[in-house]
Amino acid sequence: MHIRVYGAQADELAAYQKAESKYGFTFEFAKAPLSEETVDEVHDCDGIILVTTCHVTGKVAQTLAQRGVKYLATRSAGSDHVDYDAVIKYGLHCANVPFYAPEAIAEHTILMALLVLRHGKKSFEMVRSGDFTMTGLKGRQLGQLTAGVLGTGRIGRTTMTLLNGFGTRVLGWDPYPNAAAEKLGTYVSKEELLKESDIIFLHCPLTSDSYHLICEETLAQMKPGAVLVNTARGGLVDHAAVLKALESGKLSGFAFDVYENESEFVRRKLPVDQISDPVFKELLRRENTAYSAHVAFYTDGAINNMIEVTLDNLKEYEMTGQCRNEIKVEGGTV
C-alpha cells in the first residue's frame, strides 16, 4: 500500500522508515494539512494518514475517492475533523486510534489546572521581570475543591483517578454513565455538576450534541469564580462567552489545550498579532488563562502507540478490507 502521511514530525520519520519493511508499505510525506485547498496534491495513493489539523469535508472525500484512495486512518482518538457521512457516501473507510495514552492527556489536564489555580503564568512573568514578591499569587489547592468531569470515558476516568490522588471531591456527568467511573466519583445531573463544581473538566467528544456545551446559558449556571479546563475539543466551548465570563469574574480562570478555530495557527509559527481571531488573542493576553497548542497527547509513549496503531489499522484494511477501529459514529471516540 502506498500511503500519504500528513502531520509527520521530523523525529517520527525513523518510525516510518522502519515500518516500510515491517508492513510492506511505502510512504510520502505532505507538508500542509489535507483540506479543500490541498486535496489536489493527492495522486496515486491507496491510504492516507490524517492528523487533527486536516479537514475531510464532503468535497475532499469525493476527490479522494475519485483519485483511488480507499482508506483513511487518523492518528487521533477524536475524529470530528472527518465528515463521517461523506466518508460513507463516497465509499471510503476511516479508522482512528481509540486510545493511545489517556494518561498523557489527563496528566497535561492536571498541569493546566494547577497552572491556573496557582497563577503560573503571572508567577513566571513576575520572576522574569525581577519581581520576586508574592503579590497576587495566593492560589487555591486542588485537593480542597469540588471538581466536575463532563465525559467519564477513558481520559475523563484517568483525570478522576488523578484528582482522587489530590483528595479532590469528584463529580461526574455523562450521557452514558459507566461502572468504572462510579468508583472514582459521584454521578450527578449536569445542572448539579455545573452548580456545585469549583473546577470543571471537559473530556467528552465533539459531536452535534456537545457543540458549545459551555455557552452563556451553562456558564450562568456555574459557581461564581469557577475554573474551566478544556483539553478535549475547542468546539465544546463558546469562547466569546467564556471571555465575557472571565471579564465579569464569573470564571476565575480558563485553561485550554484546544481552540475552535485552531487550524489557523496550531502546528505553525505565527506571530500572535497576525492571528485573525480577536477573542483568542484576548484569551492569550489575560493573566488568568493558560493555553497550550493542542499538545496534551504529545509524549514519547503516546506518539509511538499512535503511529503503531495507525499503521496496524491500515494493514488490517489492506489484508481484510475491514478494520476493528473503523469509526462507527459521528465524532466518535470519534
Positions annotated as catalytic residues are 233, 262, 294
- CB 28 within 8 Å of CB 5: yes
In the complex, least distance from residue 42 CB atom to ligand NAI, rounded to whole angstroms? 25
- CB 237 within 8 Å of CB 289: no
**How far apart (Å, rounded) are the C-alpha atoms in residues 286 and 243?**
9
Structure-block grid coordinates of residue 134: 508574592
In the complex, least distance from residue 224 CB atom to ligand NAI, rounded to whole angstroms? 23
Q: Among residues 42 and 94, whose Cβ is nearest to ligand NAI?
A: 94
The alpha carbon of 142 is separated from its chain's Cα centroid by a whole number of angstroms, namely 22
H helix intervals, the chain: 13-23, 58-66, 84-89, 102-117, 120-128, 154-166, 179-182, 190-196, 216-221, 239-248, 278-285, 300-320
In the complex, least distance from residue 233 CB atom to ligand NAI, rounded to whole angstroms? 4
In the complex, least distance from residue 153 CB atom to ligand NAI, rounded to whole angstroms? 2
Task: Give the residue at shortest CB distance from ligand NAI.
Answer: 153
If residue 73 lies in a helix (H) or strand (E), which one and from where to where?
A: strand 71-74
Q: Among residues 27 and 297, whose Cβ is nearest to ligand NAI?
A: 297
Q: Among residues 74 and 168, whose Cβ is nearest to ligand NAI?
A: 74
According to DSSP, the β-strands at 199-202 and 289-291 are: unpaired
The alpha carbon of 172 is separated from its chain's Cα centroid by a whole number of angstroms, namely 19
**How far apart (Å, rounded) are the C-alpha atoms in residues 118 and 135?**
12
In the complex, least distance from residue 213 CB atom to ligand NAI, rounded to whole angstroms? 6
Amino acid at 8: A
Structure-block grid coordinates of residue 204: 467528552
Q: Among residues 92 and 106, whose Cβ is nearest to ligand NAI?
A: 106
Q: Among residues 69 and 232, whose Cβ is nearest to ligand NAI?
A: 232
- CB 142 within 8 Å of CB 116: no
Q: Which residues bind ligand NAI (CB under 6 A)?
A: 77-78, 99, 102, 105, 150-156, 174-176, 203-207, 209-210, 231-233, 257-258, 294, 296-297, 333-334
